[in-house]
């Protein structure tokens, strides 16, 4: 900062020093957390449905530009998939040492892990019957070139503190904590209920052994109450992602997406009845796809992509961009 000579003479050295210190100590200007206006979704690519026939998770690489990771839903074996941003050049990678019996891959995320590494996290958390005593998170390091298989850095076994849950949303905060949103619904009666949020801290999961680790209850999100939708399909969480700066998070439903101006590491979830629409959260109308179950921020939070596990026709990768607010 350059101070004009006339100002130095008028205010004196002490004032100048004080002003300089105040400027240097001021917090950095950060982007607006909640995007005010989103674009309509546009096709950015397509899934290779011959390999990914029931897409349940998508994540954008933080280390290798132009790379997407994908997971398939239950019954597809111990694999994840790597592709370009448009879905091209898809490759299957086998997960070594993982018993896929009874598994149900439901989401995927990228996050920091183990002293500066970047990892791809796979949520084996599906449990439609709500019978599993524990669920699993597979942690695989991001590397430039994968062979036909990859050895996980860790396979976490996790249990809920109350009862088994079906969960289709998992995301990693920039601080390394893992968060899981449950999918609370009564399929027979087509009803939806508030989702529960659980977490496990980075220090706990990184140092976990082979035993089952207990998740920590982190709050509840009454999406049925916030959505105002008469349809239960618009208020069950099918995927979840946290922005690269941790200040916001996205949830996907079968109809729309929602962005929340909440840093989960600082304040956790506020009571839903205190959340104000267009201030604390924003509803993002989507060109909804049948059974859309994957969402991921792109470009440092300035947009996101989503896709569908419905595979009986061309499955687009849809992109939505923030037009105002970032």
Query: Residue 225 maps to which CATH number?
Result: 2.120.10
Contact 268, 223 (CB under 8 A): no
Q: Is residue 1 part of a domain?
A: no
Q: Is residue 305 part of a domain?
A: yes
CA dist., res. 156 & res. 133, Å (int): 13
Contact 303, 286 (CB under 8 A): no
- Tokens 């070139």 sit on residue: 145
Q: How many domains does the chain have?
A: 1
Which pLDDT value is given to residue 323? Answer: 96
Which pLDDT value is given to residue 104? Answer: 95
Q: What is the pLDDT along the chain (326 residues), one digit of tens a residue?
A: 333 333 333 434 443 333 333 333 444 434 458 999 999 999 999 999 899 989 999 999 999 999 999 999 966 789 999 999 999 999 999 999 999 989 999 999 999 999 999 999 999 999 999 999 999 999 999 999 999 999 999 999 999 999 999 999 999 999 999 999 999 999 888 899 999 999 999 999 999 999 999 999 999 999 999 987 778 899 999 999 999 999 999 999 999 999 999 999 997 899 999 999 999 999 999 999 999 999 999 999 999 999 999 878 889 999 999 998 77
Q: Is residue 27 part of a domain?
A: no
Note down the domain range covering 102: 46-324
Q: Is residue 36 part of a domain?
A: no
Cβ atoms < 10 Å from Cβ of 74: 15
Q: Is residue 277 part of a domain?
A: yes
Q: Is residue 35 part of a domain?
A: no
Contact 195, 182 (CB under 8 A): yes
The number of CA neighbours under 13 Å toward the Cβ of 320 is: 26
Q: Is residue 23 part of a domain?
A: no
CA dist., res. 24 & res. 2, Å (int): 13
Q: Is residue 39 part of a domain?
A: no
């Amino acid at each position: 900062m350059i101070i004009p000579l006339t100002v130095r003479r008028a205010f004196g050295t002490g004032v100048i020093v004080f002003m300089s210190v105040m400027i240097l100590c001021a917090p950095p200007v950060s982007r607006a957390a909640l995007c005010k206006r989103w674009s309509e979704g546009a096709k950015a690519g397509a899934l290779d449905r011959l390999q990914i026939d029931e897409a349940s998770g998508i994540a954008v690489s933080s280390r290798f530009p132009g790379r997407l990771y994908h997971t398939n839903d239950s019954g597809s074996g111990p694999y994840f998939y790597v592709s370009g941003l448009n879905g091209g050049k898809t490759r299957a990678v086998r997960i070594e040492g993982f018993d896929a019996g009874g598994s149900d891959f439901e989401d995927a995320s990228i996050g920091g892990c183990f002293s500066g590494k970047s990892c791809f996290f796979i949520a084996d958390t599906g449990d439609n019957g709500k019978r599993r005593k524990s669920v699993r998170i597979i942690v695989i390091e991001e590397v430039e070139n994968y062979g036909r298989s990859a050895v996980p850095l860790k396979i976490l076994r996790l249990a809920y503190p109350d009862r088994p849950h079906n969960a289709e949303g998992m995301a990693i905060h920039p601080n390394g904590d893992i968060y899981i949103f449950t999918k609370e619904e009564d399929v027979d009666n087509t009803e939806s209920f508030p989702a529960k949020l659980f977490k496990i801290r980075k220090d706990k999961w990184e140092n976990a052994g082979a035993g089952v680790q207990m998740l920590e209850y982190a709050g509840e999100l009454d999406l049925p109450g916030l959505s105002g939708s008469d349809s239960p399909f618009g208020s069950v969480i099918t995927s979840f992602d946290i922005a690269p700066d941790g200040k916001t998070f996205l949830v996907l439903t079968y109809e729309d997406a929602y962005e929340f101006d909440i840093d989960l590491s600082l304040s956790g979830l506020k009571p839903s009845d205190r959340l104000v629409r267009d201030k604390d959260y924003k509803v993002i109308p989507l060109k909804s796809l049948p059974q859309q179950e994957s969402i991921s921020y792109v470009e440092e939070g300035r947009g996101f992509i989503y896709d569908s596990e419905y595979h009986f026709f061309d499955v687009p990768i849809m992109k939505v961009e923030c037009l105002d607010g970032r």
